Amino acid sequence: MAHRQPVIAPPAANMPERKRLTLKDLAAEIDVHYSTVSRVMNPATRHLVADEVAARILQLAEQRGFRPNRIAAGLRTQRSGLVGVVLPDIANPVFPPILAGIESVLARDGYVPIVVNAGADKSRQRFVIDQLMGRQVEGLVLATAERDDPILDYCLKLSIPVVMVNRGEPTGCASCVVSDGLLAMQLTVDHLVKLGHRRIGHIAGPETTSTGQQRREGFLQAVKRHRLRRDDYAVVEAVSYSREAGREACAELFQALPGLTAIAAGNDLVAMGCYDYLREHGIRCPDDVSVVGHNDMPFVDALTPPLTTIRIAVHEMGEQAATLLLKKIGKPEAPVVSVSLTPELVVRGSTAAPR
């Protein structure tokens, strides 16, 4: 006797679909105009509705499991409520507090950031920008900008609001929020010279970045102001702002400036690479060589020795970048603004008078 094959019903083709709840459905149920419901569902316009009415609408929306269709609303209003934030290295501890500052400002206006780790490769960065544009972001915060950056030029040609954060660029074609690198290196060199150091090396960040270029220039201005002789200081460029690059550059610095007694590092990760090199070669910090970092990233006070460094206002940097971007989104003709925040020196155990 032949076995009959079980009959498999087509996947829910004939089953009634659950109807998506709309703004008009909620409005009809609570007897208000659907535009009122729309205002309440948008945190940026909720204040336009009486508190008692807004509370009733939000309670009903929660009971019914209502979620606004942001895609449809974006197509209708050309407003997605999304902002792209493009980072060069999400593992760098300097970026989380910047992101926190950005998010705190965006949230007040009902915006949500899409954060992307784009790296340093320009083709990857352009791909990321195209993907964000495809998701209808209303603006971009770029932490990846370099001097003469083709990606920034590309964004400007797309006519999307752009603000740079942590890094700037010299042409003034887009707003930026940075920390004053010239002042930072002045504070660093002043501190080391006051301790008695006269043979000081600087490990600079990549010359392609505004931070690398400006801190290098600040160092050179500071050592000349203190009338250090040309053979009493040296600058070596790290290939990146990373711990390994810092260790490799530190080796080069000792070759370039034998007998150095102090190092001004391009950032805290580079300074940690200096710690690695010193430890490997039995050089004590700060007894033999003092080290100063830059950024005051989390936990550098827990290093051995605790790192003397430059503290930058990272949270405020993110806040101001987001504020400038929202102004540009709301008013595309808004002027370009360049904000330079004041750094401060935080003295810890990695610096001391030379022996």
350 in Cβ contact with 285 (< 8 Å)? yes
Model confidence at 113, pLDDT cuts 50, 70, 90, reads very high
Comparing C-alpha atoms, which of 257, 146, 250, 251 is closest to residue 206? 146
- In DSSP notation, 17-64 reads PPPPP-HHHHHHHHTS-HHHHHHHHSTTTGGGS-HHHHHHHHHHHHHH
Q: How many helices (H) and strands (E) does the chain have?
A: 12, 12
Min mean pLDDT across 155-169, 270-284, 291-305, 309-323 is at 155-169
Quick check: helix, strand or coil at residue 269? helix
* Tokens encoding 22: 């709309």
Longest dimension (CA), the chain: 105
In the chain, beta strands by DSSP E: 82-87, 112-117, 140-142, 162-165, 175-179, 200-204, 233-237, 262-265, 290-292, 309-311, 338-341, 344-346
DSSP assignment of 94-124 equals THHHHHHHHHHHHHHTT-EEEEEE--S-HHH
Stronger pLDDT, 206 or 17, i.e. the higher one: 206
pLDDT for position 1: 47
Average pLDDT score over residue span 147-176: 89
> Does residue 261 surpass a pLDDT of 80?
yes
* Cα gap 273→270, rounded to integer Å: 5
Q: Which of 253, 240, 243, 239 is nearest to 202 (CA)?
A: 253
- Tell me whether domains 23-68 and 181-312 share a fold: no
Q: Mean pLDDT over residues 206-220, rounded?
A: 94
C-alpha–C-alpha distance, residues 178 and 164, integer Å: 8
Angle subtended by helix axes 23-30 and 51-64, to nearest 10:
120
Question: pTM for the full model?
Answer: 0.77
Pairing of strands 344-346, 309-311: antiparallel
Considering the domain 181-312 in this protein, what is its CATH number?
A: 3.40.50.2300
Instruction: Answer yes or no: is pLDDT of 65 > 80.
Output: no
237 has which bridge partners?
204
Please check whether residue 317 is in contact with residue 302, taking contact to mean a CB–CB distance below 8 angstroms: no
The CATH number of domain 23-68 is 1.10.260: yes
Distance between CA 302 and CA 65 in Å, rounded? 47
Q: Give pLDDT, residue 51.
A: 87
Please give the Cα distance from 309 to 237 (Å, whole number). 19
Parse the chain into domains and list their residue ranges: 23-68, 78-179+314-344, 181-312
CATH fit for domain 78-179+314-344, picks 3.40.50.2300, 3.30.800.10, 3.40.50.300, 3.10.20.520: 3.40.50.2300
pLDDT averaged over the chain? 89
Q: Determine the Cα angle at 223 with ends 218 and 227, to 5°.
A: 145
